[in-house]
Structure 1
Amino acid sequence: MQSLNLGILAHVDAGKTSLTERLLYAAGVIDRVGSVDAGSTTTDTLALEKQRGITIKSAVVSFTLGGTTVNLVDTPGHPDFIAEVERVLGVLDGAVLVVSAVEGVQPQTRVLMRTLRRLRIPTLIFVNKLDRRGADLARTLDAVAGRLTPDAVPMVAAVGEGGRAARTVPYTAADGAFTARLLDVLAAHDDRLLAAYVDDESAVPYGRLRGELAVQTGRALVHPVYAGSAVTGAGVDALAAGVAELLPAPGGDPRGPVAGGVFKIERGAAGEKVAYVRLSSGTVRLRDRLPVHREGALVAEEKVTAIAVFDDGVLTPRDEVTAGRIATLRGLTGVRIGDTLGEAPEPAGGDRQFPPPTLETVVAARNAADRAALHAALGLLAEQDPLIDLRRDAAAGEIAVSLYGEVQKEVIEATLAAEFGVAAEFRETTTLHIERVAGTGSAFEVIKKDGNPFLATVGLRIEPAPAGSGVELRREVELGSMPYSFFTAVEETVTETLEQGLHGWRVTDCVVTVTHSGYSARQSHSHAVFDKSMSSTSGDFRHLTPLVLAAALRQAGTVVHQPVHRFRLEIPAALLGTVLPALTRLGAVPRTSAAHGDSFLLEGDIPAALVHGLELRLPTLTSGEGVLESAFDRYEPVRGAVPQRARTEPDPLHRKEYLLQVQRRLSGLGDSAAPHRTGNA
């Protein structure tokens, strides 16, 4: 049987979880439609999801549609949980983007649609809530065409919208306006169809149009639009028929090499790791040993101890899983989100599609006795959401976590209390800055020279790279000049050290080149075993590299950058003279303005740190009629006082203190890689 991995995406409260319930009900998987308000939906299983009425974690259910098994993935709609959506995108064969017929195209809707189009994910659009007061399908379709995609094709007409009796009627070949619109959109992407249309419009049969619609939808060129109500079920059958007809079910070759990606991790009842995997090729069987790749490198080989697949809404144990399916695998103890499995690894949605978190908060246990439990709990949460990005300060006994917004912070706090029994307190949320290298800097240290206490020679050069390029590592020395494990130690330590630049922020968009290398080969006294005090270890390189990189970074210099959002603000035209100066006072910089009937649309920039203040003032400024959208756009240099971020220890920018702290740490552990006393450590 073919399989289709289908994502349901939307702005929060557009009704995607309700639509998931209705699709499961229509397929006979459930005998009663659950309610988000009542906390009885199939996919929102977390206590917090039931309490808040929002989706926090993606969930997978399945149903059969014709001859296809549909693995349906319900994703969060709130922008604070966009990282959860990002991880799902890499496993989808198609998507349904839900838009509210009342609220229309909302900020998150636009972000999601841009990403779906960029990734070429075949997408249908479903206009929900036709039964609600204020629903307007025509207005929503105009917004879809103007703000989401001009290649939208309405597939149904609405009857009685705005009331419980609202329903939809599918367009047919007899609807001239529909076929003309369909032909216009399809011909724009197919020269042969355009030629036939120009020669004789009537010569293009409707059957050819439907076939071409399926082809172009599968190539993510056009986007059929359905409508209805997830609450009443109106229009859902037409949507399901559209999924079956228009979205591809590519499956995969079950006899090919194993290739799959991990997009979600949970913990089972006994604390064991449960990996959600989309298998794109091959077959995985119980007791198979799977190679695990991370960022292109083989990191482990793990044995599969249990397999379960989604069948008719139930997670069912199986002896094997074949290409095209989503399954849960147990036994992969060291696996992480983003890892790829098998002999032919492929990306598991690991490439970032959305902006990184731009906020941070410090978490501490209210009860000092819970400090260790807090650290352990946050570690488990970070395992499920890597973008939480824990930053520990052992000396202060605190952990900083990265955030997308205040709701995410509230959810973390509630999760710590409910699931781990840890009462935590959060400091005020602050903005996450970055550092970019200003120039070129280089430094090196040689074994047994100039107070180098480590049996390692390391030289590094750091220089700027284009914005958005991240960190690139290069070598100017021969790979065979020292053991590969030592190069690995240097490169991994470079990445770790760049998490804290000259001002404490993460350093990015740079190239770091290894310029010098050297080591002391394995040695021993006569008739004695290997003597670590005379021979280099990876520890020598891990402890020396931060000192060399810090010296190179100090020579190069860095510039602190702040995150900047692009905002879009719609206000009544009469308030323009009042709002413009207020925006300036609030730190926003309007760039463009345009009249739209009796309203004005302002677009511009605002530092991320000031967005929350604008959101708070907006209702008063616009008498409740202003509609604000904002999203991360770029980083730009900070003007004025440079913000500093407290560093965690040990700090290689202060050599003497760094070496003392390393010495104490290693001595306390009894580590044989403690500095070899050859100078002033």
Structure 2
Amino acid sequence: MNKTIGILAHVDAGKTTFSEQLLYHTKSIRERGRVDHQNAFLDSHSIEKSRGITIFADQATFSFKNSTYFLIDTPGHVDFSSEMERSIQVMDYAVIIVSAVDGIEGHTETVWELLQKHKVPVFFFINKTDREGANPAQVLKEIQTEFSKNAFDITFNFQTGQMNESLIEFIAERDEELLALYLESEYDETLWLERFQSLIAKNQIYPCATGSALQDTGILEFLHQLDQLTVTSYEKDEAFGARIYKIRHDENGNRICFLKAFSGTLKVRDKLSYGTQGLEEKVSQIRMYNGKKFQTVEQAVAGELFAIAGLTEAEIGDAIGNCPDDNKSAVLPTLKSTVLFDSTISVKEVLASFQLLDAEDPSLSVYWDEHFQKIQIQVMGIIQLEVLEQVVLERFGYPIQFGEPEILYKETIKTAVMGYGHFEPLRHYAEVHLKLEPGERGSGFQIDNTCHADALSTGNQNLILHHLTERNHHGVLTGSSLTDVKATLVTGRGHNQHTSGGDFREATFRALRQGLEQAQNQLLEPMYRFKIKVNLDQMGKVLSDIQQAFGSFETPETFEEKTTIEGRVPVATFMNYSTEFAAWTHGKGSLSLLFDGYDLCHNEAHVISKMGYDKNADPLYTSTSIFCAKGQGYKVPWDQAEKAMHCL
């Protein structure tokens, strides 16, 4: 049986040490490494060793009893949440490590939310029970209060496959059939174990265990429990289906795609179709990784994690074959920064390097700004920028720096409008009419088509729709990405002789821009969903801070002198609050921040003024249409374009 197990935690909860113990006990490694000794098997990258944190989601393989385990050690720092979420999407089960001293921390909340979003069954391991101040019973109570009342301690209640009375009663309360049997004092060990496994897989019970990874206490016992309580079912005889969850480049520059197979079998030299364009390429190599090392194999089967060479254009998130394409990310960057480098280094060289990094981490969204002649990237935070500086120096051999991170704003519209674009210089012809409507918050940029085939051929209609989706579009307030807008192709016109190549592209972009010129435009800013826990006497300051940051909050809840406050707040006003918060609470408070989409900007006029975007000087867009008369093209500004259109 193949099982993919993810290990997740807040930074410094002991996640990597825990993973090392599992690998040691299953004889996958000969010696146990430690993060503080810089010899952990899974934190193999020099940057991870120097910083003492997990940055890259590395995997290891081990066998235990009748199962093969694929273990993923994920980053624990919030700046690398994107890497963590991509790994979550291929996990069968997750183990959340929680410190018995510190309890649930900010990033633990993020981990839990993402696992719930992707419906991954969860085990908890309360670690560091050997430390002074450890209180595993209190932490279990916190898990039951904050996450789920269905968390249950199996440390002494499920040993050598045997359930004690309290566990049997706990399971019976969650299964009507078992409850009836329990009341009749009937206990079939096999049936109860199967139901226990099923309830865990359905996220209806969350087993918890306690121990110390550093002292190797409770680890082997937990491994036995994990093995008995996890089951997977993969169909090896069905059509091959997989998802690409990670991309790396080897020392020869080859793109190596890491996959999780959900069904079927893949063999070397098989052809795979992937991507929206349906590209088809042959698999030249299949690799089984264990840490940095790998072995080549002739085939991979359902349930396995493996890597392949041969897919030159593949991207992270691509679904291959019999696999649903439903991997929308919940973790998105909220900041952007400019890449700074010495003028002696070629811009093309730097851009090529960052495009490689972009393939490995699509959340970077590397962008070459033609107008300002600079490279921009999107990031989660300062630590990520510091790591990127080291990565570029090590991999590509030249130093870089980054400009001060800026908030990643977006734009939308409040009112529905018609947009008109006409492109008719001599011997060219295209006209496009678009209806632009505001979409629901978080819906992104959507397209629709109500154009009749009598007006435009199906081929030309598809061409216009393709141009609408081929890149992110700029708004007119700050030049930020357009979102939460639905663009519908209403009608258009081409010419049998004079319409060519990019004519519809020109007309489409002009129609989009002309519509935006008429619309009531709005600036959006990224928001955090926050959860703050402090002592009751500190609540007043927190509420004051939230109000000053233009945030909103729900009614605070107080339990045993601890107050929990939840709400929303702009990233711009709260992105540095964690440092201030830790200082005045002396590290005793808890602050969890999770990206919560975009909403109306609290200081729109100030941001627009500060950014100083000139909509008339944007090299990618113009709202002016071009018409032709007497063999010469002439311009018609956006506010006069509608009257000049041919399709009206």
Residue of structure 1 in register with 2:78 after alignment? 79
CA distance in 2, matches of 1:97, 1:287: 38
Residue of structure 2 in register with 1:468 after alignment? 442
Partner SS for 1:203? coil
Shift of 1:654: 5.3
Residue of structure 2 in register with 1:528 after alignment? none
CA distance in 2, matches of 1:330, 1:279: 15
CA distance in 2, matches of 1:413, 1:464: 39
**Contact 1:366/1:425 (<8 A) preserved:** no
Residue 324 of structure 2 is aligned with which of 346, 357, 374? 346
Residue of structure 1 in register with 2:519 after alignment? 556
Would the alpha carbon gap of residues 370 and 102 (structure 1) be closer, same or farther in structure 2, given more than 3 Å must change?
farther
Q: How does 1:156-555 map to 2 (within 5 A)?
A: 156-157=155-156, 170=159, 175-176=164-165, 178-179=166-167, 182-184=168-170, 186-197=171-182, 199-200=183-184, 202-204=185-187, 208-253=191-236, 255-292=237-274, 294=275, 297-310=276-289, 315-342=294-321, 344-347=322-325, 350-352=327-329, 354-446=330-422, 448=424, 454-478=428-452, 486-496=460-470, 498-503=472-477, 504-521=479-496, 534-537=498-501, 539-555=502-518
Partner SS for 2:556? strand
CA distance in 2, matches of 1:383, 1:565: 27
Partner SS for 2:634? coil
Partner SS for 1:369? coil
Residue of structure 2 in register with 1:44 after alignment? 43
Q: Deviations over 1:382-407 (max 9, x none)?
A: 11010111222123221221111111
Residue of structure 2 in register with 1:605 after alignment? 568
Amino acid aligned to 2:266: V
Amino acid aligned to 1:635: Y
Would the alpha carbon gap of residues 188 and 414 (structure 1) be closer, same or farther in structure 2, given more than 3 Å must change?
same
Q: Deviations over 1:181-216 (max 9, x none)?
A: x423x334322123334x44x334555433321121
Partner SS for 1:679? strand
Amino acid aligned to 1:191: E
Q: Deviations over 1:285-319 (max 9, x none)?
A: 22222111x3xx34310111111124799521111
**Contact 1:62/1:313 (<8 A) preserved:** no
Residue of structure 2 in register with 1:617 after alignment? 580
CA distance in 1, matches of 2:558, 2:426: 67
CA distance in 1, matches of 2:72, 2:160: 28
Amino acid aligned to 1:239: F
Residue of structure 2 in register with 1:529 after alignment? none
Shift of 1:679: 1.3
Shift of 1:345: 4.1
Total equivalences in the alignment: 625
Shift of 1:474: 0.9
Would the alpha carbon gap of residues 580 and 327 (structure 1) be closer, same or farther in structure 2, given more than 3 Å must change?
closer
Shift of 1:88: 1.5
**Contact 1:228/1:234 (<8 A) preserved:** yes
Partner SS for 2:419? strand
Higher mean Cα deviation, 112-121 or 329-338? Answer: 112-121
Q: Deviations over 1:533-556 (max 9, x none)?
A: x4422x222222111111112222
CA distance in 1, matches of 2:291, 2:603: 59
Shift of 1:25: 0.6
Shift of 1:72: 1.1
CA distance in 2, matches of 1:85, 1:580: 31
CA distance in 2, matches of 1:312, 1:422: 27
Q: Deviations over 1:420-453 (max 9, x none)?
A: 12322222111112222211111234564xx698
Q: How does 1:144-159 map to 2 (within 5 A)?
A: 144-157=143-156
TM-score of the two chains, using structure 2 as the length reference: 0.89
Amino acid aligned to 1:321: A
Q: Deviations over 1:505-549 (max 9, x none)?
A: 22222211111133334x5xxxxxxxxxx4422x22222211111
CA distance in 1, matches of 2:507, 2:486: 19
CA distance in 1, matches of 2:240, 2:188: 43
RMSD across aligned positions (CA): 2.8
CA distance in 2, matches of 1:313, 1:250: 28
CA distance in 2, matches of 1:260, 1:281: 7
Q: Deviations over 1:440-492 (max 9, x none)?
A: 111234564xx698432322111012222222211112469656554444223
CA distance in 1, matches of 2:127, 2:113: 20
Residue of structure 1 in register with 2:646 after alignment? none
Is 2:605 the counterpart of 1:627? no
Residue of structure 1 in register with 2:643 after alignment? none
Higher mean Cα deviation, 363-372 or 404-413? Answer: 363-372
**Contact 1:440/1:555 (<8 A) preserved:** no
Higher mean Cα deviation, 386-395 or 115-124? Answer: 115-124
Partner SS for 2:530? strand
CA distance in 2, matches of 1:222, 1:596: 24
Shift of 1:134: 1.7
Residue of structure 2 in register with 1:679 after alignment? 633
**Contact 2:513/2:622 (<8 A) preserved:** yes
Higher mean Cα deviation, 132-141 or 367-376? Answer: 367-376
Shift of 1:260: 1.3
Partner SS for 1:409? helix
Shift of 1:258: 1.8
Shift of 1:102: 1.3
Higher mean Cα deviation, 23-32 or 82-91? Answer: 82-91
CA distance in 2, matches of 1:320, 1:649: 51
Q: Deviations over 1:315-339 (max 9, x none)?
A: 2111121222121111111111111
**Contact 2:266/2:300 (<8 A) preserved:** yes
Shift of 1:98: 1.4
Shift of 1:118: 3.4
Q: Deviations over 1:114-133 (max 9, x none)?
A: 33233322221111112222
Is 2:120 the counterpart of 1:125? no
Would the alpha carbon gap of residues 391 and 133 (structure 1) be closer, same or farther in structure 2, given more than 3 Å must change?
same
CA distance in 2, matches of 1:128, 1:610: 34
Q: Deviations over 1:551-593 (max 9, x none)?
A: 1122223211222223333333344455544554454545433
Would the alpha carbon gap of residues 445 and 614 (structure 1) be closer, same or farther in structure 2, given more than 3 Å must change?
closer
- Identity, % of aligned pairs? 27
CA distance in 1, matches of 2:373, 2:389: 17
CA distance in 2, matches of 1:47, 1:488: 48
Is 2:75 the counterpart of 1:109? no
CA distance in 2, matches of 1:462, 1:70: 50
Residue of structure 2 in register with 1:650 after alignment? 619
Amino acid aligned to 1:34: G
Amino acid aligned to 1:216: L
**Contact 2:422/2:507 (<8 A) preserved:** no
Would the alpha carbon gap of residues 622 and 13 (structure 1) be closer, same or farther in structure 2, given more than 3 Å must change?
closer
**Contact 2:421/2:508 (<8 A) preserved:** no
Shift of 1:283: 1.8
Would the alpha carbon gap of residues 452 and 571 (structure 1) be closer, same or farther in structure 2, given more than 3 Å must change?
farther
